[in-house]
A and B are shown apart, each in its own frame.
Chain A
């Protein structure tokens, strides 16, 4: 069974630009969530989707947005990039609605210059 696939794996952007990251969950998993990992703040929850509906949202500004498609694939978008948005963005999927047992992808590493 293929794991969670995230694209692109690495990208470099400049301040003020926007970025879209993509996530393909494990087949059959309908829950997709996103996390940001930085050295200073650790792993922080961004949002969670289930069956195309956002179920939870973390404490991030409105520049961070996401969506889920009918095939459970998900995208997240960050607009007006800031230097502090440089991070590893991790996507995770789960077959369950709760419980926290997530399967993570390898992440998309974003560098903002």
Chain B
């Protein structure tokens, strides 16, 4: 039972354009949603998060949108840069601790 799903295994975008990564979840009890970025041979790095009481959070080039009724969140990267090429994981957590449920990841390739 996959509680967090990323349906696109890969995404290719031109440098300077917008990258949109999507994530769906099924558990209404999640309190926080997060995005992590992972480069090969490194551990995941926290990127941005959003509380379930908000619908948008922005940090520089990164914006996360949350649609609770659709149980859907997305990460927008504008403008995309070649250094953004990595695997992006969507994750969800509750206030009860740091137990994260991860999606399967989306490999983003930003072409120069």
Contact = CB atoms under 8 A, between A and B. Distances in A.
A48 B34 CA distance: 18
Contact of A99 (B45, B49, B103): B49
B101 A45 contact: yes
Interface in B18-57: 31-32, 34, 36, 41-46, 49
Interface string B90-108: 0111111111111111000
Contacts of B104: 42
A76 to B, nearest CB: 15
B102 A43 contact: yes
Contacts of A106: 41-43
A57 to B, nearest CB: 9
B103 to A, nearest CB: 8
Contacts, number: 80
A58 B99 contact: yes
B43 A99 contact: no
Interface of B: 31-32, 34, 36, 41-46, 49, 89, 91-105
B46 A101 contact: yes
A3 B102 CA distance: 22
Given A42-B102, A43-B102, A45-B101, A98 B43 contact: no
Nearest to A9: B41
Interface residues of A, number: 28
A56 B99 contact: yes
Given A99-B49, A106-B41, A106-B43, 8 more contacts: A33-B99, A56-B98, A98-B96, A99-B93, A100-B92, A102-B44, A102-B100, A104-B36
Interface string A42-72: 1111001010000110100000000000000
